Amino acid sequence: MIAIAGTIGTGLFLGSGGALVKGGPVGMWLGYTFMGIAVGMMMTTLGEMSCFAPNVGGFIEMTTKYFDPALGFMCGVNYILQAGFGIPTELAAIAILFSYWDTNAKHAAIYIIVFLVLTVLVNIIGVKWYGEIEFVFACLKVAMLVGLMLFGLIADLGGIPPKHEYIGGRYWREEPFNDNFRGVKPVELSRFLGFWGVFTQAAFSYSAIESVASLAGEAHNPRKTLRMAVRTVFYRIAGIYILATLIIGLVVSQHSPELKSAMANGHGTAGASPFVVVAKQMGVKVLPHIVNAVVITSALSSGNEQTYAFSRSLMAMARNGQAPKIFLATSKLGIPWAGVALSAAFACLGFLSAGSSGAAQAFTWLQNLSALSCLVSWAAICLSFTRFMRACKVQGVDRKKFVFRGWGQPYMAWFCFFFFTTILVFNGFAAFIPTFNVSDFFASYVTVPVVLISFVGWKIAKKTKMPRLEDIDLSNGPKEALVGTRYDPNSPNYEARYAGNSQYA
């Protein structure tokens, strides 16, 4: 439920309007569907590694252990950027959402301060209370989404008084894709570019789904918990997004004036949220206010999850000698207070929304940065899994005995790696249309040199090497999977040097 609470946020409630304008109803739905399928494949690789050897550091420790310490450092830096940019993104979204009621731009900073304090408080009161609060947020968001999807379906069928306007599949038939994406010709190219532009928005919407692995080290009976979580979280989240974007495309036109304004001004205000737009169109006056209020709690919930991921990632890096030891310090409740404090400093980027560019432009930039960091993380997870799988084969560890085993591997992992990498490389095409835009280009590619420099720099400075497959330590796997291998004390192949590492030896 924590992963659901963290993933369902402003990417769907606020940013999906921009995806509709870019790709049209069918282009948006296909973009979210394809990205959801790829993310689901990635989650099976992450789930298998996490269930095999649960840890607090999540995939950061996995990439360090199975691929190369330099890749682990790069993933740590990247994930910190992903979560670090994600927190102010949610704060900027909150400023946008409050602008629906309060049009005074000077008050944006006040709302950011209030919700920044709330985010820090939730993350220092202990994991138990954090989990309870996020569970409530998740239930609230899922309940509202189900209600909104039912409302949208009824509206599409003409069941909302007083207009009783029947829409049906009108918008899908009239213009399923964007036939005029930034004036590009011919129409076929315009449609493809609009569809491709949805992927970045979809990636941001699915971001933080990988955080379920970071919860393993603090969960009771982590292997059982993770197995259930990985099997259910993706289907719930992907199902929600695919159904929600389907219904949005049915009831809201890509030519809606509010959505056009959102695209022109960097997602505009909360009035451009597709759910608010459809409520206005149907003449339901109170619903936009209810939706706006719940979406604000949604943004707060996502910010809480990003803060949690940020602090735990720093702790994992510090444990691996990749970050200052101060980030290992914890409070009496086990909270890594130094990491939470640094996340609050990153959150101050949210005050960009109170500047001359406004909350909308800040939200757009920060959203792009967070989405790109997310793609890097997912690609690294898939790449590390290929090494993990080969190590199991070389060392005689039977994957059929695993608590959770991904299907179609390693082909799915390689497919996802190239899929995420391709989107990362070509995501900035819009910065060149119709003329070159420096700020859009910067937001599209600033993550790439940062992660490359961190990888190369750490590899040169520490002289790291990719471990041989036979030397990768698999001693923390489940006992039934290690029977007969060198990690099993009863096996003639047992190597005593792993006795101190294995909880089963």
pLDDT tens figures, 444-487: 888 889 899 999 999 999 999 999 999 998 887 776 667 667 77
- 45-55 in b/e form (b: 16+ CB < 10 A) is bbbbbbbbbbb
Task: Give the mean pLDDT of 327-334.
Answer: 86
Which residue type, as a one-letter code, is found at position 146? V
- Which residue's structure tokens are 């209600």? 147
**What tokens appear for 268 in the block?**
């505009």
- Going by pLDDT thresholds of 50, 70 and 90, the confidence category of residue 262 is low
User: Does residue 434 have a cis peptide bond before it, meaning omega lies within 30 degrees of 0?
Assistant: yes
Task: Give the mean pLDDT of 55-66.
Answer: 82
- Going by pLDDT thresholds of 50, 70 and 90, the confidence category of residue 501 is very low
Model pLDDT, residue 493: 65
**Burial group, residue 5, by CB count within 10 angstroms (0-12, 13-18, 19+):** buried
Q: Which domains does the chain have, with CATH numbers?
A: 2-474 (1.20.1740.10), 475-505 (no CATH)
**Residue of 21, 25, 103, 17 whose CA lies nearest to 277:** 17
The answer on pLDDT for 276 being more than 80 is no
Task: Give the mean pLDDT of 315-341.
Answer: 87
Model pLDDT, residue 56: 63
Model pLDDT, residue 38: 93
**Burial group, residue 257, by CB count within 10 angstroms (0-12, 13-18, 19+):** exposed
The answer on pLDDT for 395 being more than 80 is yes
Angle at which helix 69-98 crosses helix 287-319, to 10 degrees, equals 160
The answer on pLDDT for 497 being more than 60 is no
The answer on pLDDT for 163 being more than 80 is no
Model pLDDT, residue 490: 65
| CB 26 within 8 Å of CB 176 | yes
**Residue of 132, 303, 276 whose CA lies nearest to 211:** 303
The answer on pLDDT for 505 being more than 60 is no
Task: Please give the DSSP secondary-structure letter assigned to residue 466.
Answer: P
The answer on pLDDT for 241 being more than 50 is yes
Model pLDDT, residue 355: 56
Model pLDDT, residue 448: 87
Q: What global pTM score does this model have?
A: 0.85
- Helix and strand totals (H; E) in the chain: 19, 0
Task: Report the range out of 230-234, 315-319, 384-388 with the highest average pLDDT.
Answer: 384-388
| CB 226 within 8 Å of CB 216 | yes
The answer on pLDDT for 359 being more than 80 is no
Q: What percent of the chain clears pLDDT 70, i.e. is strictly above it? A: 85
Task: Please give the DSSP secondary-structure letter assigned to residue 489.
Answer: T
**Burial group, residue 374, by CB count within 10 angstroms (0-12, 13-18, 19+):** buried
